[in-house]
Structure 1
């Protein structure tokens, strides 16, 4: 039997989904069913790309709250730095696409950015959403993990940030050790100097880059180009103790691609469509 807090949360999810132009897709019980099914075979984990669920604007606290309720393994966030040195979550360097502001975010202070709506094009109920700070996201995820069996980690896309303040913030909230860090090779080298045990994840766009990147970056994982994925490559990475992440976005957002990733032994699928991945992989796991 649901408590009052759970009823309010379920109601919020339903209202949010209707406001965003979609019917709610399934109940919390269904999420638990999918997650249990996925655990029956070698686990494949799911990352919510920019926190996307289709029910709230990307990279907002609203989207992250729903992603947590979906029990994702990772929430991917894009970190940038404001004019006054504050760390915020925003994919584009320019404000035009996702906010009612214009121009480069790096030329605004945090106070300036907090005046903007981060719900552009998402319906009236999301116009009060603001660009979140990294601290706000860390607090949200840390609180969730403290009170739930399902643990969610951060997948940090380091867009425009220095390693020192990023490491300090995640350390403060106890999220550093389980986070993965994606960024340029130059940034990941700087991160390794500040936090030698940080889980670095460089991109692997061509398989012939592999040896040099392992030597230079000491990675935890690789973000592998979907077109480069082969069983031999996945097995080679696993033999060296490395994880394999893959983005299945846009044209890759189809059940056959999810199935292929699972068959190849990919460790993490990043997606804008969490429930589509859950449904497809749960059916595979229960066969």
Structure 2
């Protein structure tokens, strides 16, 4: 009888342990020979702080969303495993003033819920499931900003989008998680004076990146150099739907004045048609154009493709 009881206990224990699958998996287990993360966080920070480096930094838009739900913890982990330098994620606030990682103001597109994020509490959001790229529910759930920062801590740089208005709340979490050196906050259509007023002395401990829209800000060049003269940002995000602005030929000057140049290879309105999906068939005409212009940070929807290209050219470790 005792032997039978012992056998049942062992069987029950094994059964339970098999059912408890980890929520985050390492995608490198089967792909170590193709792409791997060779950079330490110190290497990434050194590159970020070197405006004239010829090594091009890769930023993955909403994480590796082709292989995991966008803005999920798994999408961030995939980027770490791929060797991406920085992951871009989006921040929203819940009804009970908690910061979560989700792009849209509404839940409908990316989750099994409906309505505005700001009308739900964190506990209620945690009952939802994230959808994959085909719109099907997965086992992944909406992460908090704290969870996202902790999984990235010491492994990858983080760009927080849609976070400017929540900066004070976000800064507390950034400090508590010990990730101040890893986080880049960006803002658009803000003067230097706006940024200095909004961030105050926190500008000394966080990385702020202005977004410069060459189509909408006709005095873009003077805005750029006003920033460089007064707060010396480590990078500028440059947005353009046409490739006619003289600023596109002055990236060397921007870098020599102390700031890296970030562009988005996502879709046409951000890059005049030099986009990832066209790079699938002709990498040199798209990614090569950025290289020739002197860009040294690229945000992409195809991180594995861009990494492979840059590594083939000796432009990424």
What's the TM-score, normalizing by structure 2? 0.71
Spell out, residue by residue over 1:155-191, the C-alpha distance to the aligned partner (whole angstroms, 9 max, x if none).
1113474221111111222211232112234584555
Q: Secondary structure at the match of 2:313?
A: helix
1:190 to 1:108, Cα distance in 2 relative to 1, 3 A: farther
SS of corresponding position for 1:28: coil
SS in 2 for 1:192: helix
Secondary structure of the 1:285 match is coil
Matched, 1:244 2:255: no
Q: Deviations over 1:7-36 (max 9, x none)?
A: x99x9567xxxxxxxxx9x7223214998x
Counterpart of 1:183 in 2: which secondary structure?
A: strand
1:120-159 equivalences under 5 Å are: 120=132, 127-142=138-153, 145=154, 151-159=155-163
For residues 189 and 106 of structure 2, what CA distance do their matches in structure 1 show?
A: 23
| Structure 1 residues 200 and 210: alpha-carbon distance in aligned structure 2, compared to 1, 3 A threshold | farther
* 1:64–1:235 distance in 2 versus 1, CA, 3 Å: same
Which deviates more from structure 2 when the two are superposed, residues 79-88 or residues 153-162? 153-162
Inter-partner Cα distance in structure 1 for 2:168 and 2:87: 21
Decide which structure has the larger Cα Rg and report it: 2
Higher helix share: 1
| Pair 1:167 & 2:171 matched | yes
Q: Which moved more, 1:206-215 or 1:250-259?
A: 206-215
Q: Structure 1 residues 190, 213: closer, same or farther in 2, change over 3 A? A: farther
Name the CA distance, whole Å, in 2 between partners of 1:196 and 1:123. Answer: 39
Aligned pair partner of 1:212 in 223, 226, 233:
223
Distance 2:36 2:96 in 1: 42
Partners of 2:198 and 2:307 lie apart in 1 by 33
Which of 189, 195, 208 pairs up with 2:202?
A: 195
Structure 2 CA distance, aligned partners of 1:235 and 1:57?
A: 37
- Runs of 4+ with deviation above 6 angstroms: none
Determine the structure 2 residue equivalent to 1:76. Answer: 88
Shift of 1:119: 2.1
Structure 1 residues 190 and 110 mapped into 2: Cα distance closer, same or farther (>3 Å)?
farther
Which of 55, 60, 63 matches 2:67?
55
Secondary structure of the equivalent of 2:127?
Answer: coil
**2:292 is the alignment partner of 1:275:** no
2:36–2:81 contact (8 Å) kept in structure 1: no
User: How far did residue 53 of structure 1 move?
Assistant: 4.7
Which residue of 2 is the match for residue 225 of structure 1? 239
Cα distance between partner residues in 2 of 1:190 and 1:49: 29
**Number of equivalences:** 256
Return the alpha-carbon distance in structure 2 between the equivalents of residues 135 and 212 of structure 1.
33
Distance in 2 of aligned mates of 1:32 and 1:109: 38
